[in-house]
């Protein structure tokens, strides 16, 4: 999974289809992400010292990673993510539609340097 925290994504399936938001949590073992404002559920909370009001709270629940797409930084449209090696051997994520960089993943490696 190539999603990272702080990526802006679009929900492409489910009840929140069409919602845009930032990724708050990435769970790589379960292949799920928590998106800001998407997958909201009501949680009933009893009155306590921590929560003196009590009542119903809104909480974001995880969404499967296949149901979100990263927003392309240049066009603002949803795109797939690819991985490529730069000339200096650095590994980076990129948007497949425009080819724009989405950030580096790993430091330079000698075996991937181009002469």
pLDDT band for position 114 (cuts 50, 70, 90):
confident
82 has pLDDT over 90: yes
Q: In angstroms, rounded to a whole number, what is the distance separating the alpha carbons of residues 58 and 16?
A: 15
Q: Among candidates 115, 20, 15, which has minimal Cα distance to 68? A: 20
Mark 90-103 as b/e (b = at least 16 C-beta within 10 Å). Answer: beebbbeeeeeebe
1 has pLDDT over 90: no
pLDDT band for position 12 (cuts 50, 70, 90):
very high
113 has pLDDT over 80: yes
Q: How many CB atoms within 10 Å of residue 35?
A: 26
pTM, full prediction = 0.85
Burial of 114 (C-beta count, 10 Å sphere; 0-12/13-18/19+) = exposed
Q: Which residues pair with 84 in a beta bridge?
A: 92
Q: Residues 14-71: pLDDT tens digits? A: 999 999 999 999 999 999 999 999 999 999 999 999 989 999 999 999 999 999 999 9
């Amino acid at each position: 999974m190539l999603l990272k925290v702080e990526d802006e994504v679009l929900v492409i399936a489910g009840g929140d289809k069409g919602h845009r938001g930032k990724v708050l949590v990435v769970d790589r073992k379960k292949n799920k992400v928590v998106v800001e404002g998407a997958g909201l559920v009501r949680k009933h909370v009893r009155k306590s010292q921590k929560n003196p009001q009590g009542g119903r709270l809104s909480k974001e629940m995880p969404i499967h990673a296949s149901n979100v797409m990263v927003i392309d930084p240049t066009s603002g449209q949803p795109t797939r993510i690819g991985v490529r090696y730069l000339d200096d051997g650095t590994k980076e994520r990129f948007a497949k539609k425009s080819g724009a960089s989405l950030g580096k993943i790993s430091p330079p490696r000698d075996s991937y340097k181009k002469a």
